Amino acid sequence: MSKTIATENAPAAIGPYVQGVDLGSMVITSGQIPVDPKTGAVAEDVSAQARQSLENVKAIVEAAGLKVGDIVKTTVFVKDLNDFATVNATYEAFFTEHNATFPARSCVEVARLPKDVKIEIEAIAVRRERALIDSGRRAVARRR
């Protein structure tokens, strides 16, 4: 059973998709571009854009009742791989501020992003107690 995640603390979808999906033991966000959900503004600086994208991911994860520390995987899309070091510094600071373990991550350079932003970030978070319950059920079912 999946539930759609919708929050005013992240930008509304700009196409036929949802902000995120809650699968019970796992939450998957759509890619978040650095649009401020309150003003619609996009900063020019790639560090500020990375921070806003991460804040948008956080808002969706929190709307599902999880925390930054529950994020286990991110995919980062950057328009210019020369921004990699700057993005890394912002990314590291964000997860450190939230006392979170760094998740697994992929980073890919792309030709263009929506609204001509410099970065987009998507994430997968795990509801750990639910994941443990589900894995226990699978183990019991296999024994039968």
Residues marked as catalytic: 107
Cα separation, 102 vs 10, whole angstroms: 22
Beta strands at 71-78 and 26-29: parallel, antiparallel or unpaired? unpaired
Q: Which two tokens stand for residue 1?
A: 């059973």
Question: Are the C-beta atoms of 122 and 29 separated by less than 8 Å?
Answer: yes
Q: What are phi and psi of 135, to 5 degrees?
A: -70, -35
Question: Are the C-beta atoms of 108 and 77 separated by less than 8 Å?
Answer: yes
Q: What are phi and psi of 138, to 5 degrees?
A: -65, -40
The upper half-sphere exposure of residue 78, i.e. CA atoms within 13 Å in the direction of its Cβ, equals 21
